[in-house]
Amino acid sequence: MSTTISGDACALPAATDAPACALPGSAPVAAARAWVGPTQQERFALLRRAKSIAIVGASNNPARASFFVATYLLSSTAYDVYLVNPRETEILGQPVYASLSDLPVVPDIVDVFRRHDDLPGVAQEAVDAGAQTLWLQLGSWNEEAAAIAEAAGLSVVMDRCIKIEHARFHGGLHLAGFDTGVISSRRQLLAR
């Protein structure tokens, strides 16, 4: 993308800027990526099928991308949202679990906000927990983690903000000042 779109905590980056949802210390984007992610329609289907999302690396710091994403998912979606961070007990009035294995349910999507070197381990935890999808945030790209998840049958999404994707698919980006390219006075209603 060549422009920065503001008004959203997970703004799309300008070509020379770091992604707003990227984690500090994220691995630099390699020039050649061998892994190919799901298409737009496949990502939409993943979000439509999901009932629960676990946010690994959830933060109580309002300046962190995981806090914005958790706030959005809790307030603007019907997902059951579970927060995972071994150093917290409560975030946004929600209980926080120490690990994926401590969750009371099997999450459909595991949305990850962790450092690059931690991603393969989190991918294995998602596999062990029985998740259906491993979702790595903007700036997170780890082909080893993708291989671990895909070998166990999980769908994988990397370098995409789940908040932006959900809002884009469900008509919410226009509310944040995004140009969705759709000119209509009719608002599309979707079940999820």
Give the pLDDT confidence of 51-99 residue by residue, as tens digits. Answer: 999 999 999 999 999 999 999 999 989 999 999 999 999 999 999 999 9
Residue 76 counted as domain residue: yes
Percent over 90 (pLDDT), the chain = 67
Residue 1 counted as domain residue: no
For residues 77-105, b (16+ Cβ closer than 10 Å) or e, as one string?
Answer: bebbbbbbbeebeebbeeebbeebeebee
Rounded distance between C-alpha atoms, residue 158 and residue 27, angstroms: 12
Please tell me which residue, 28 or 86, carries the higher pLDDT value. 86
Residue 35 counted as domain residue: no
Whole-model pTM?
A: 0.75
Residue 19 counted as domain residue: no
Q: How many domains does the chain have?
A: 1
Q: pLDDT tier at 168 (50, 70, 90 boundaries)?
A: confident
Give the CATH number for residue 142: 3.40.50.720
Residue range(s) defining the domain that contains residue 149: 40-174
